Amino acid sequence: MAEPKKLLRSLAGEVQAVPPIWMMRQAGRYLPEYRATREQAGDFLSLCYTPDLAAEVTLQPIRRFGFDAAILFADILLIPDALGADLWFVTGEGPRLSTTTTPEDFGKLKHADAIHDHLAPVYETLRILRRELPDDTALIGFAGAPWTVATYMIAGRGTPDQGPAHALKAENRQLFNALIGRLTNATIEYLSAQIDAGAEVVKLFDSWAGSLKGADFDNYALEPARQIIAALKARHPGVPVIAFPREAGDKYIGFAKASGADCVALDNSVSAEWAAENVQVDGCVQGNLAPGHMVTGGQDLVDEVRRIRSAFSGGAHIFNLGHGITPDADPDNVSLMIETLRETAR
Residues that bind ligand CP3 (CB under 6 A): 24-29, 38, 44, 71, 73, 75-77, 94-95, 142, 144, 158, 205, 207, 324
Half-sphere exposure of 20 (CA within 13 A, CB side): 25
Within 220-319, residue ranges assigned H as helices are: 223-235, 255-259, 272-278, 293-296, 298-311
342 is catalytic: no
75 is catalytic: yes
Which residues does residue 307 pair with via DSSP β-bridges, in sequence order? Answer: none
Nearer to ligand CP3, 244 or 276 (CB): 244
**Cβ-proximal residues to 11 (8 Å cutoff; 6+ apart), any chain:** 201, 240, 242, 262, 263, 284, 316, 318
The sign one gets for the Cα dihedral 303, 307, 313, 316 is: negative
282 is catalytic: no
The residue type at 79: I
Nearer to ligand CP3, 19 or 141 (CB): 141
Which residue among 9, 34, 38, 282 is the active-site one? 38
25 is catalytic: yes
**How deeply is 57 buried, as exposed, middle or buried, from its count of CB atoms within 10 A (0-12, 13-18, 19+)?**
buried
Q: From the CB of 34, what's the least distance to ligand CP3, in Å? A: 7
Nearer to ligand CP3, 76 or 221 (CB): 76
The residue length of the chain stands at 346
**How deeply is 14 buried, as exposed, middle or buried, from its count of CB atoms within 10 A (0-12, 13-18, 19+)?**
middle
Nearest to 331 by CA among 60, 128, 56: 60
Which residue among 25, 226, 246, 309 is the active-site one? 25
Nearer to ligand CP3, 276 or 319 (CB): 319
38 is catalytic: yes
Radius of gyration of the chain (CA): 19
Nearer to ligand CP3, 46 or 177 (CB): 46
**How deeply is 44 buried, as exposed, middle or buried, from its count of CB atoms within 10 A (0-12, 13-18, 19+)?**
middle
Q: From the CB of 212, what's the least distance to ligand CP3, in Å? A: 15
**How deeply is 157 buried, as exposed, middle or buried, from its count of CB atoms within 10 A (0-12, 13-18, 19+)?**
middle
Torsion, Cα 57 58 60 65, to 10 degrees, reads: 150
Nearer to ligand CP3, 37 or 185 (CB): 37
**Cβ-proximal residues to 36 (8 Å cutoff; 6+ apart), any chain:** none
- The residue whose Cβ lies closest to ligand CP3 is 207
Q: Hey, which residues are catalytic here?
A: 25, 29, 38, 75, 152
